[in-house]
Structure 1
Amino acid sequence: MTEPVGDDRRQAELVTALGAVRARIADACVAVGRDPQEVTLVAVTKTCPATDIATLARLGVLDIGEARDQEARAKLAELAEAPYPQVSLRWHLIGRLQTNKARSVVGYAHAVHSVDRPKLARALADAAAEHRDHPLDVFVQVSLDGDPERGGVVPAELPALADLVAERPELRLRGLMAVPPVGSDADEQFTRLAELARGVRDDHPAADALSAGMSDDLEAAVRHGSTHVRVGSALLGRRPPIVS
């Protein structure tokens, strides 16, 4: 197998950072009596080059988070070419998604973490019915502060949206996702999210996943039941934007 392109210094940086992030997840789990294997590390690679994804894959990180469909597709195309090793990555769309991107996303995504309105849920289901032979994993994004610019369904409308996702056989309701408001108390916000998640599980027992926690607050998220932590800067550093 041909080695992926990249430099030794960058690989060493990623090895060190990955070890630190995994240790943080493990310590947070031990502190509350959880098994670290219950927590999936989603490497948020937005604005990072495909070489980083290839290196992470070699290190065993196969869950990749991207915020924009266009950027994800560009990296998919690059990784499909030599000299990258061909591995099965699980792509997670974590950013706000326009309905007109649904057909593109269902062609490669393992999960969408940002479903926050009925129109988007229906668009993904319709596209999946046409272009997939298995359901698309969906996390319903909840707004914890009611700010429409940050995405997320308000809690009062959450049950109806969860029901809609669960009713579509082309989708699999995995659970909830949220991003705490900037400057808020993470434990307080994740306590609220966990309560909302319990309410959804009462109606949909299989929706047992929780996408919560990022570089600065993953420990608090793990304390409150997160099964998917979305880590960017703590793993990959702060990268300059990719110029398209």
Structure 2
Amino acid sequence: MSRREELAAGLGAVRERIAGACAASGRDAEEITLVVVTKFFPASDVRLLADLGVTDVGENRHQEAEAKAAECADLGLRWHFIGGLQSNKAAAVAAYSSVVESVDRPKLVGPLARGAATREEPLDVLLQVSLDPPGREGRAGVDPDALPALAERVAGEERLRLRGLMAVAPLGEDPATAFARLAEIRATFVAEHPSASWLSAGMSGDLEHAVRHGATHVRIGSAVLGSRPTDK
């Protein structure tokens, strides 16, 4: 099987899963944006994915993302930065990304706005909210109680466009429970910011739960691309 055929098969299976999850939830599959996470995979795979209809690509390491976006600049893709973001790299990330999904502290807002000043369009921003229980060290993300203040900081920047929320289900927790909690957080958030209705949640192992609880974007890597290359 050629690499193109492998990717086509992976994409087909994921799109079927999304369609099935939407049907079970009474949603339209057109509401869901598939972001294919190409971390550690070569730009040649990105080109094949684009040829297979993929429009949104996710990366979470700045150096790799910057190089890949430049190499594939002719494809017109939307690049989503989904990894932990350092404030000293934020301006550079804003220059090539279409969406930054991992904004989790006020310190990032100024540098992102400066980097976005080099773009024709404002930078789309998602706030990464923590779903970890209080007091537990877990994945990145802003505490839900601090979400309103961070949202106001982003909304106050002319070159940034607040689009919604992103989250990752905590390790060791039932993703259905975590995403149900996320849906409640999002309902409160959207009441305050009606135009910020994007919800990026769900990965290869839990996309169905995320779709059921309102995800508009799912971030899928291994289910499309296969196991990560051993040479990173």
Q: TM exceeds 0.5?
A: yes
Give the aligned partner of residue 89 of structure 2. 101
Give the aligned partner of residue 33 of structure 1. 26
Counterpart AA for 1:79: C
> Percent identity among equivalent residues?
59
Q: Report which stretch shifted further, 226-235 or 181-190.
A: 181-190
User: Alpha carbons of 1:185 and 1:159: their partners in 2 closer, same or farther (altered >3 Å)?
Assistant: same
Length-normalised TM-score, structure 1: 0.90
Count of aligned pairs between the two proteins: 230
CA displacement 1:182-241 (0-9 Å, x = unmatched): 121111100111111111111110011100000000000000000000000111111125
Aligned partner of 1:54 among 44, 47, 52: 47
Correspondence 1:140 to 2:133: no
Residue 34 of structure 1 and its aligned partner are, at CA, apart by: 0.6
Give the aligned partner of residue 183 of structure 2. 194
Residue 127 of structure 1 and its aligned partner are, at CA, apart by: 2.3
Distance 2:85 2:231 in 1: 19
Counterpart AA for 2:95: G
Structure 1 regions of 5+ residues with no counterpart? 1-7, 81-85
Distance 1:174 1:76 in 2: 22
Residues 29 and 223 in structure 1, CA contact (< 8 A), matched pair in contact too: yes
Aligned partner of 2:206 among 213, 217, 223: 217
Length-normalised TM-score, structure 2: 0.95
User: Alpha carbons of 1:200 and 1:33: their partners in 2 closer, same or farther (altered >3 Å)?
Assistant: same
Structure 2 regions of 5+ residues with no counterpart? none
SS in 2 for 1:107: helix
Residues 194 and 224 in structure 1, CA contact (< 8 A), matched pair in contact too: yes
Distance 1:15 1:151 in 2: 32
Distance 1:193 1:116 in 2: 15
Distance 2:33 2:226 in 1: 19
Give the aligned partner of residue 110 of structure 1. 98
Give the aligned partner of residue 83 of structure 1. none
